[in-house]
Structure 1
Amino acid sequence: MGRTSKDKRDIYYRLAKEQGWRARSAFKLLQVDEEFQILNGVTRAVDLCAAPGSWSQVLGRQLADVEGAKIVAVDLQAMAPLPGVVQLQGDITKESTAEEIIRHFDGGKADLVVCDGAPDVTGLHDMDEYIQAQLLLAALNITTHVLQPGGTFVAKIFRGKDITLLYAQLRVFFKKVTCAKPRSSRNSSIEAFVVCQDYAPPAGYVPTMKNPMLDVDYNDTNSALTGPNRFIVPFVACGDLSAWDADQTHALDLDTYTRLNPVQPPTQPAYKSAVEKLRSQDQVRVPL
């Protein structure tokens, strides 16, 4: 496979390098914002599961001219610094992490919380959907600690048979919930993004990390909702037909084309120790 193969197959991978984004996922947030204007009026934003930092990049660029704007990026692993972004290495299931976020906002709360986190997929769709749902609920849990009323929450979701149950849970906290599919997200992927607007927690609700929020018994009775208890999830495609197609192979003009390296290499790649061992054993130069 040639060095230009991925640039041909994935137009957004190529555009990300050309425009200086750390990952192609930056276009997903840009297209969600284009459809829903989620960044309007935002001065305090939180990016959960932020590494490698493409969504934090989008927030940093889009809010660069907003006076007093503050952005906090949270992840368990370290990532390379970004201008205008405060990085917090922490666990989103810990109350101390929520307290640290609010401390960075000088006691205030966020206008916007986004989360592009996802587990390492196994290929077993039911398992992947369940794990992603638990990650989404963990992100929602910390969001109830740090988001102010009227705020917006955007998170990745894997569309499956239980999406209506997740939608009903999100509707407990937000007046409007929409499932969006950006143009830059491949049609072959089951990923989508829930855009939850106008945060309005139930009267008397007290955020807590001690008990799993909205913990339910996933049996046939609860998962098979009927009548008025069953919600039809609004589904919106973000980006008009003039946008690039993420599933199409795009030709390259090899006479003028210049291949670019990724904007930000991994700070601590998992393969680093293996490469160092090969170098020490074989005494040969192995590129990282």
Structure 2
Amino acid sequence: MFPTILRNSCYNGWRHTILRQFTTFKTAFPKAARNGENKYSARNIKKDYLRQKGKSHSSTIWLDRQLRDPYTIMAKEEGYRSRAVYKLKEIDERFHVFREGNIVVDVGAAPGGWSQYAVERVGITIPHSVFSIDLLDIEPITGVHFLCGDFMSESARCKLEDYIDNRRVDVVISDIAPNFSGDHSIDHEKQIDMCESVIEFAKRVAKKDCSVVLKVLQGEEFPSFMKSVRSQFQSVNLIKPKASRKKSTEIYCVLKHFL
């Protein structure tokens, strides 16, 4: 039945993991998912999930919201692995992040929606045009070289750098987030650390005129983080995409050209 819940992901909380698993099932069995009586239907996947979670009220509300969410529905219809792709799409349409032939690094890639979009925009090159990393494994994507590892580990970053193999990167995108503890201040600090690690990695592998897209959780450290970012890039823009939850503290930084 439903795969085991991975609770200890460095990047994603269990809710992100469940949505990823649900999306994978519906992608693998699209006809079955439209059949209300099939065991892989949205109704029965939901029942099985709630059985494992103890049928908590909050879990029911959350999953109902996901199943009715227009971006989740649109992602399924258009063949994307997550609703988050529409955040990146809006960012790209506004700030022109990608160009054909670009080399891209995708940090915190699971379940792969951002990598899918990046490949569509830059095209498939030999051997790869997109290099992705996440602690959670993903299904293969043509044109994407995926590394299953903890980006916050220096050994994993070095391995990713080896895969890139001296090809200078044009774009670094990051939707990385910590495994949420429920304490926003702690989660915020961890996520800021992740963003700083992404920027440092970009300095190692990217061209000077690169673009960097970062998800940032707003909080006490946000002003000082932005001050630091503005001292490192020629162009700094902030955007909260329409696909972001209204109550979410997330905002996206679009950074261009290292100083």
Task: Judge same fold: TM > 0.5, yes or no.
Answer: yes
Taking structure 1 as the reference length, what is the TM-score of the superposition?
A: 0.63
Q: Hey, what does 1:170 align to over in structure 2?
A: 229
How far apart are residue 43 of structure 1 and its match?
A: 1.6
1:118–1:135 contact (8 Å) kept in structure 2: yes
Aligned partner of 1:160 in structure 2 is 219
CA contact (8 A) 1:98 1:145 kept: no
Kept in 1: contact 2:132–2:145 (CA 8 A): yes
Structure number with larger C-alpha Rg: 1
Report the CA distance between 1:65 and its aligned residue. 6.2
Q: Which residue of 2 aligns with 1:62?
A: 121
Identity across aligned pairs (percent)?
29
Instruction: State the alpha-carbon separation in 2 of the partners of residues 96 and 130 from structure 1.
Output: 22
In the alignment, which residue of structure 2 is the partner of 1:249? Answer: none
User: Are 1:148 and 2:207 matched, yes or no?
Assistant: yes
Partner of 2:174: 115
Which structure has greater helix proportion? 2
How do 1:82-101 residues align onto structure 2 when only pairs under 5 Å count?
A: 82-101=141-160
Q: Structure 1 residues 96, 128: CA separation in 2 closer, same or farther (over 3 Å shift)?
A: closer
Q: Is the 8 A contact 2:119 2:130 kept in 1?
A: yes
Q: Do 1:45 and 1:72's aligned partners in 2 also have CA atoms closer than 8 Å?
A: yes
Which secondary structure state, in structure 2, belongs to the residue aligned with residue 114 of structure 1? strand
Structure 1 CA distance, aligned partners of 2:118 and 2:103? Answer: 10
| SS of residue matched to 2:244 | coil
Deviations 1:215-248 (A, max 9, x none): xxxxxxxxxxxxxxxxxxxxxxxxxxxxxxxxxx
Residue 149 and residue 15 in structure 1: after superposition, are their counterparts in 2 closer, same or farther (change >3 A)? same
Verify: 1:128 aligned to 2:176, yes or no. Answer: no
Mapped partners of 2:227, 2:102: distance in 1: 29
After TM superposition, the structure 1 = structure 2 runs for residues 136-285 of structure 1, keeping only pairs within 5 Å, are 136-200=195-259
Q: Is 1:53 paired with 2:112?
A: yes
Shift of 1:38: 0.3
Change (3 A) 1:163 1:7: closer
Pick the aligned partner of 2:130 from 52, 71, 81.
Answer: 71
TM-fit CA distance, 1:180: 1.0
Higher normalized contact order (CA 8 Å, seq sep 6+, divided by chain length)? 1
1:146 is displaced (CA, Å) by 1.3
Tell me if structure 2 keeps the 8 A contact 1:102–1:109. Answer: no
**How many Å apart are 1:196 and its aligned residue?**
0.8
Aligned mates of 1:7, 1:124 — CA distance in 2: 23
- C-alpha displacement of 1:114: 0.6
Q: 1:37 to 1:94 in 2, by over 3 A?
A: same
- Alpha-carbon deviation of 1:42? 5.1
Q: Secondary structure at the match of 2:104?
A: strand
Alignment partner, residue 80 of structure 1: 139
* Ranges in structure 1 where 5+ consecutive residues have no aligned partner: 201-288
Higher mean displacement: 77-86 or 39-48: 39-48
CA deviation map 1:95-124 (0-9, x unaligned): 444444344344122000011011122332
Alpha carbons 1:101, 1:146 under 8 Å: kept = no
Indicate how the Cα distance of structure 1 residues 99 and 162 shifts in structure 2: closer, same or farther if over 3 A, else same: closer
Cα RMSD after superposing both structures: 2.4
Structure 2: which 5+ runs fail to align?
1-41, 44-62
Distance change in 2, residues 1:96/1:161 (3 Å): closer
